[in-house]
Copies of this chain bind each other. A is one copy, B any other.
Amino acid sequence: MKAKIHITLKAGVLDPQGKAIEGALTGLGFTGIGNVRQGKFIELEVSESDPAKARSQIEEMCQKLLANPVMENYEIEVLG
């Protein structure tokens, strides 16, 4: 079973990487850019074939390793 995970910084948490991208884009001459936020995108496959069980397994992975639950949100999408 395939899954996609989006890990993003919580609203209000400063995103220096996003700010750096914004500054670099402005430096390249792009105008009108704002609110740049960078997150992580992880794709993986699990052998579990029950979608609910796969989701709870991936949720555990996010809690234990993939995300920092203090500063980051994660969103799990289990694909057929």
Q: Which residues of A contact B (CB under 8 A)?
A: 6-8, 18, 21-22, 24-25, 28, 30-48, 57, 60-61, 64-66
B32 near A46 with CB under 8 A, answer yes
- Give min CB distance, A50 to chain B, whole Å: 12
B42 near A37 with CB under 8 A, answer yes
B39 near A35 with CB under 8 A, answer no
The number of times this chain is found in the oligomer is 2
- Give min CB distance, A42 to chain B, whole Å: 5
User: Inside 8 A of A61's CB, which chain B residues have their CB?
Assistant: 25, 28, 30
- Give min CB distance, A72 to chain B, whole Å: 12
B33 near A44 with CB under 8 A, answer yes
How many angstroms between the C-alpha atoms of A23 and B41 in the bound complex? 18
